Structures are given as structure tokens and as C-alpha cells.
Structure 1
Amino acid sequence: MTSTVMNSNSTEHYEEEKKSTIERFKSWWSPTKLDLDKFSHYVDQNILVIRYLPYAVGCLGIVVIFRSIRMATKFTKAKQIPRSFIRKNVQLNGRVDSINLDGTFKVEHLPIIPLPWHRLYRDSLLNVRLAFVSPSISGTYWMRLNMTNKPVKFQLIYRMNDTNQLLAIVRPYGYKLPKSMGTLNETLVRNGLASLNQSDNVLVSTKKQSRLLASLESCQTKAMKDGSGMWSINHKETLLESTKRMFDNMLNKLKSSRQ
């Protein structure tokens, strides 16, 4: 009997607490007619702000995206390029201004969104070197003949802080090219105009780079088998090529000893 009375009292207490909570919520949540009139008046007074607010938020989002991917930024030095670009192997557009005797490209970066004042920095060029390959003298002259003043896409692989160079995978575009050409790195090796640069192998960090290196090795094997370019039986190494090869070997050994 006593337990029944206690259960009844607890149930009544629970119901009272429930009703009290609901009443407090209603008093806080239920708007009065005056509140609704004030809200309606505020909306009428600020209808333009409310109407264009989604557009403002959208524009702000676009600005944030532009800043993150640097669509309107013109890079004039290798150190200006964010580390995230190197890590993600971002591909940039450019124009080949000239090619040094060692096969290094002087490239003018062309941002996605060009701005009028970018013309002031036309002479500020990036030093771009073909990743994983060492062009021969013949390869360098071939590139000078076919690549100078041509548009290219260069995919960032690594930044050499000591020489201010960018190692990249270079792809010609914007003019008629054989569909089988692929990357410039592969084309040179396939035709015996460049050999693999073993010192760059330590820079391989992604599956995509590993696939490219495997493709380059396949291209070099085929070039050696076919006797193309520098692998030709009749090919005689010039004094300049011999000196360049010796210098490259010494440089590679020096780099290996530092690591």
C-alpha cells in the first residue's frame, strides 16, 4: 500500500515538472504579435541585404578559393611557390623563354587569370629542369629548336633550394604535336636525346612519380635496343658531351656524399 502511494506521488511530481518545463519553453519560444510585427518590419527594411546575402557569401567563397590556389599569382622565383604546390605536384602553365646549354629551361609562369601588371615581370623567369633525365648536347639543341617561345605545362616535382631550380615534368601544349609524344621527359629518353639521371631517383615520393620513372626506364631500354640517338653505334661523343658527362657524374657523387 505504501509503495503504491509513493509511486503515485512520484508520477504526479514528474507530470508537474513536465508541465512546468513545457510552459517555460512556450513562454521563451512563442513570439507575440508585437515580436512578429517587429521581425516583419526588419525584413522589409533590409530586404536588399537579405536578397543579396547569398551572393555575398558565394563571392567570399570564390575569393577564398582564388587565394588558396593562387589563380592570379605570377611566380617569378622558385621560392615563391608554396610548399603545398610541390607536395601535391601541382601543374603550372608557362612559356619557354630560352634553354641553357645544360638543358635548364628559363620559363615565364603564366597564371590562370592574367592581370595587366604581370607584363612588368616578363623578364623574371623560373629555372626549370627536367626531372629524372639528363639531356645530351643534341637533346639540348633539339629543345632549343622545338621548344623556344612555346607554351608548356610543367608539373612540379621538387625544389632545389641550393640552385633555385624546379624539377618538373614538362608537357608541350597549344600547338600541333604527335599524340604519342607524351611528356618531354619521355620523348627525349625515347629518342636517345637524354639519359636517366640516377641522382633524381631519391626524390620519388608518390605512385605517379614511380610510374613515370618506370616509363622512363622502359623508354631508355628501348632506345638502347634500337640504337637511337646517343645509343647509336655510329654516335661519337663530342668533347663537349664528354666534359658535360664527367661534370654530371662528379656532381652526382658530390650530392650522394652529402646525403
Structure 2
Amino acid sequence: MDSKEGGIFYNIKSLLQQDYRGVNIAVYALATAGLAVSIHKIRPVSKFSKAGKIPDHFLRNHEPLNGVYAGVQHSPVRLLVNHKAPIYLPLWHSSKPPLPVKLWGVEIVSGNAVSWLECVAKGQKLTLKPIARDKDDLVSTVLLHLPQAKTKTVETLDVGQKLVELGFAKATVPEKVKKNSIESQLVPVLLSAEAKAKSYRNGIWSDQLPPLPAYVVFWRKGSQLTKEMVILTVKKLLQLITFVSISALVGAKNVALRPFRSNPKQVQTT
């Protein structure tokens, strides 16, 4: 039995040590095919300037696309985004125009939206989540990343939601959307932003809706002032508690480090 097993292992070892050119070619071919499929899937050097160039699986899977805000296209209003491929090729990518992007479920209706974008988003990084195509335009959500110098953090804003909330755009969501989809998650967010804009008469709603009653304006201003005073009071209180705690720790440390002195009355003379 041992001899048979030894013979089997010897035969396998001899087989592996032999150079089968056909087998090697097949292995290399499979590896090359796998690499080609991976490159086709992730498109590491593709800079998209038209929605038609974006692969279908990017739309189905809502693959995030990174880019930089480049401006606005008028009539109709579209965001222009310089898409950044994972691997940047200067001579090839710099010659391609920016990608026009239509905000899903959002219709820009005020020129103030363009002014706001030019002021806030110019040259800032964006993240797109593709949803569909509209001819050469990409229909997508747009996340704007704003670095905060004071806190050294990055604030992320949904551009469509923010424009609707400011009253510079309207929510134009379809009546029926597929359940458990990215669209079903966007609908309540956009409708809530529009309701807030109407409630505060932001942007276009200041002209399209009747003025708010005086008592509502007074109540909101009073509530906002009270909120700011409470926040300021809490901050001051925390600062005071911190100062007292540090002072107590320093005092305790000084007492602990003070050299011990004996009481003369307790010293007995001989």
C-alpha cells in the first residue's frame, strides 16, 4: 500500500515538474482574460465626458464617480463635473470636456442656484452616484465635499437637497419609484426639503406663497434666539467646569509636592 501511495505521489511530482507549454499558455490566457474583465469593469483610466460612455453596470450598481465642480451649463441648467479617473493620464484626460450632470428629482428654477454653486462649489470635490442617462447628460445625485479649516474636517452636502431647501429648486420626483432603490431613499428627503423651504418662504416660495403671519415669524425668531442663548450658556458652563477642575488638580498637585514640616510644639526636647 505504501509503495502504491509513494508511486502516486512520485507520478504527481513528476507531472508538475514537467514543462507543458500548452498548459502554461492556457494559464496565462486565463489570467490575461481575468485582468481584461477587471479593467473593463472598473475602467481605471476612463474619464467620462458623456453619459453614453458610462458603462451600464455603473448605472445599475450606482458606482460612485469622483470629480471636481467645473461650472454650470445653461438652458437647461446642468452641473459640469470634471470626472477624475482612478489613474490620471494628463495628456489624454486634460483634453476632455467636463461631464454634464442633471440632478435626479430636482428642477433648478432660480438664477440664485447658479450663484450659490459658483460661490460655494467652485473647484471643490464631488461624488456622483449615477442613476440614469438623459441623452448625453448623466442623471445622478451629487455630494459636495467642503473642507472646514477651523475643525479640519470635511462637510458633505447633497447639492440637490440643499438647493431645494434654499428655495432655488423644486422637487420633481416621479409618483412611483421602485421600492428599496436609491430613488425611494431620495424621494422623502427632497419632499421634506421642499416642505421646509415652503414653511420658511425660502427663495421662490417668498413670492409664490402668502406671507407668514407675524406671530409665526416672531415665534421662530424667539425660538432661534433662545436656542442660541442655551447653546452659549452651556458652552460657558463647560468652560467654567473645565477651569475649576484644572485649578483643583493643580492645587492638589502643589499640596502633594509641598515638603513636610513638623510642628515645633510636637517636638519633645530631652
Q: TM-score range by the shorter chain?
A: 0.5 to 0.7
2:145 corresponds to which of 173, 187, 190: 173
CA contact (8 A) 2:126 2:145 kept: yes
Cα distance in 2 for residues equivalent to 1:196 and 1:64: 39
The match for 1:160 is: 134
Gap change, CA 1:43 and 1:158, over 3 Å in 2: closer
CA contact (8 A) 2:132 2:138 kept: yes
CA contact (8 A) 1:181 1:187 kept: no
CA contact (8 A) 1:131 1:168 kept: yes
The structure that is helix-richer by fraction is 1
Q: Secondary structure at the match of 1:108?
A: strand
Gap change, CA 1:56 and 1:117, over 3 Å in 2: farther
Q: Secondary structure at the match of 1:86?
A: helix
1:184 corresponds to which of 159, 172, 190: 159
Task: Report 1:205-244 matches (<5 A).
Answer: 205-207=178-180, 208-232=182-206
Q: Secondary structure at the match of 1:229?
A: coil
Gap change, CA 1:154 and 1:179, over 3 Å in 2: same
Deviations 1:170-193 (A, max 9, x none): 001263399876311111111112
The match for 1:77 is: 50
Cα distance in 2 for residues equivalent to 1:219 and 1:179: 22
Cα distance in 2 for residues equivalent to 1:205 and 1:109: 28
Number of aligned residue pairs: 196
Task: Report 1:83-94 matches (<5 A).
Answer: 83-94=56-67
Deviations 1:54-91 (A, max 9, x none): 99988875653332122332222211111222222222
CA contact (8 A) 2:47 2:93 kept: no
2:72 corresponds to which of 82, 99, 123: 99
Cα distance in 1 for residues equivalent to 2:148 and 2:29: 43
Gap change, CA 1:203 and 1:188, over 3 Å in 2: same
Task: Report 1:8-27 matches (<5 A).
Answer: none
CA contact (8 A) 2:100 2:137 kept: yes
* Amino acid in structure 1 at the alignment position of 2:83: H
CA contact (8 A) 1:107 1:127 kept: yes
Cα distance in 2 for residues equivalent to 1:230 and 1:212: 22
CA contact (8 A) 1:172 1:183 kept: yes
Cα distance in 1 for residues equivalent to 2:101 and 2:191: 22
CA contact (8 A) 1:150 1:172 kept: yes
CA contact (8 A) 2:143 2:156 kept: no
Cα distance in 1 for residues equivalent to 2:176 and 2:134: 11
The match for 2:246 is: none
In the alignment, does 2:169 pair up with 1:194?
A: yes
Q: Structure 1: which 5+ runs fail to align? A: 1-25, 47-53, 236-259
TM-superposed deviation, 1:100: 2.2
* Amino acid in structure 1 at the alignment position of 2:89: L
Q: Secondary structure at the match of 1:175?
A: strand
Identity of aligned residues (%): 24
CA contact (8 A) 2:167 2:204 kept: yes
In the alignment, does 2:125 pair up with 1:151?
A: yes
Q: Secondary structure at the match of 2:157?
A: coil
* Amino acid in structure 2 at the alignment position of 1:166: L
* Amino acid in structure 2 at the alignment position of 1:92: L
Q: Secondary structure at the match of 2:97?
A: coil
Gap change, CA 1:182 and 1:203, over 3 Å in 2: farther
The match for 1:125 is: 98
